[in-house]
Structure 1
Amino acid sequence: MDQAGYLGQIYVNVNTGEVIIANRGTQNLANVKTDGGVALGMVANVQPIADEFAREGLRAAKKVLANAGVKMSALYTTGHSLGGAEAEGQAQMLSAQNGVHALLPADVHITNFSIDAPGISDRAHQGDKSRYTSYNLSAQGDVVHKAGGDQLEGTVQVPLPIGPRIAQTEGMMLAGAATAIELPFVGLPMIAYGADKALEAHRSTLILDQVTGTVLAGIKLTELGTSSAAILAAFKTKPTTPEPVTAQVQTDTKAANDTHAAPVSSDHPNIWGLDPKGNIDPAALKGDSNVVYAEQWLDVNGYRSKARPQYRNA
């Protein structure tokens, strides 16, 4: 694993019987060498290690579940970028096992969930499609998922409308390459700009951050379905519609304080600029947004910290 740069983890839910095989994406120079092979349409040189990890991990997971007296109910493979390709390869390998060599019970379905994953070349068509369901979510400007040949056969490709646009990434790099032949002082900066935007589009946290707070984040993988249009529709729908907050401008500071002061504790007797309806005086914001102001107030007044709301780009 040190030589190839592979890293994976196995998660076992002893209450539900679910097992997750997670694969890390590009992290070191060994991974970069592997990425080069993937880009040329070759099966990743680290895939045999990822496969062996999946087999050994499944054996360990089955022991954990057996000791807990719980039956395995579902298997998930997942990863970002190179890790997503390894996850697709693991799903292919495990789905093709049968008979005495099968590690996975015949009634356990595999769900692969990759993010910005390149293809897996010839292995894409060597699995048993009846044993798995596969998804690959990517940002609209990501170019990595276009490399490596075919995705695992049957994979639902979902390009989410988030992050830099394809015109800013692949489009800019192609335009820069064409321009650089005649005008290198113009073309090379264009290529650099496109590459920088491509890296931004490929960040592992981009999709997770943007999906949080939408209906898609609350759907179990096994209930996603097979329609990219339906998945996109869920992504565009938020669980709740935030109410607009109106702020009343107060020209008299003392009057505003007297009107909006709200006792909260002995250490912090009031919060200036907040009326009983929750409206915040613009003068109290001091350049902060309503959300930032409210979070600071909660922290100062000793409230238990809560998960911050996530907002999708328009």
Structure 2
Amino acid sequence: MNPRTSATLADAAYAEPPPKQKLVTIDGTRYRVLDLEDSISGYQGIVYLNTKTNEVIVAHRGTEFDRQPLIDGGIDAAMVTARVNAQLGDALALTKRAVKLAEENGYGPVHITGHSLGGALAQITAHHYNLPGDAFNPYGAAGLAYRLPEGQPANAAPFTNHVMAGDLVSAGGPHYGRIEMYALPRELEVLRNAEQGQRIASLVTPGMKSGHVMSAAVAVQLGDSHRMVHFLDRMTDKGPVQSVLDDLNARVTDPEDLRRIADYRGDVHQLRAAATVLVGGGPGLLRDGVSYLRGTMEAGAYARNEAEAQQRAQHALKPGGQLVQDATDKGSPSLRNPGFSPSSPLRESIESTLDKAGLDPRKEGHPDHALYRQIRDGVSAVDARHGRSFDETSERMTASLLATAKGSGLERVDHVVLGNPPSDGSGARMFLVQGALDNPAHLRASIAVSEAVNTPVEQSLAKAEQLSQAQQVAQQDHAQEQTRTAMRMG
């Protein structure tokens, strides 16, 4: 699929989602909406079927500040301070359904696309399911804790990141896939002027090194660079404007311009890394340590492990049953897993660091300890009903359910219920319920048993902590906006 089509569908994902099975025309091409997701986490994605080519395209929506400023703002802040994407579970679920629909109906290949935050989701889902795709001004997902290698692996489906030279977001982290760079005349002019200004400042104040300061100022001037519109053909009041994807003049060839762009984007990346340390502190470094121990994952390995886990999960909750981990699990970062080897001082110190940083909801005094205990008691009750004792599998289930509860906005858990296996063979799910079971107004959330029992405890706890941070940022922004509104009205 060509990048122009990917860009068109990435942009279309921002529109109000159409109903399933509806035929829509986008840029002159007919598509059928096979599936969609619009969840409480703020995630929105659509699965399109090109009715002419039979290609399936998963479009992940990006940052949409006019629709959900607090939710998306919180997610973006969490990516910078804790490097996580709380919307990933929904994006992976939609991608999995798209792959299944394509296989069951004999459709063509599945492609992935997305812009900004959706571009990060596109990188991760394309890697996890080994699918081709394009991202536009994405946040670099190889810098997140999801085991993505940087660059384009030789044995992986091709993935391309299309980025504007002055874009702040795409400069913030390393990318999965190859990078295609574009630049508008104004971007090059701003970078040239900034470099000249830095030289003058150095003459006035000898020894002054103001690169980061200059880059921060340039990022403000180039805020328009992040917009999706640059990758689309469009009509303006001054006439038609060509997409940078097809504009040969948007390709940077001058060596000095290339150097300025590299310097600017390198400074932005360092500023973002510094923000992670300053804002995230020890917890941010701790998660980096865990990610380092785990290493990268081969493209498509996630999907293979998921399929194997679903098979193993059929036995995980049988009376008296135990989850048997095969050799592939021995590399799991579950630090209490005796199969995780070899031992190292760094690995051995991480659990104590979790306690010292106050990040473990299993400990009294943590804000989520009560929620954790409610879930743990519920899982223990499910175990008892099935003739099982609470074990390491149960602990992984509890931690996964805690992250699920945080992502769904549950304030307490009154019931933990094991659902019946669906008739479509997709596997059983574990449900969390806030409120009475017979109350139509109760709140609930769920997770696939296969996913929950195979996710390392520390990974789930880190996700729960990062979701809490995102929610705190959103609450703070909301309070500040209310204060500003009150001041304006006063």
TM-score by length of 1: 0.50
Bigger radius of gyration, 1 or 2? Answer: 1
TM-score by length of 2: 0.33
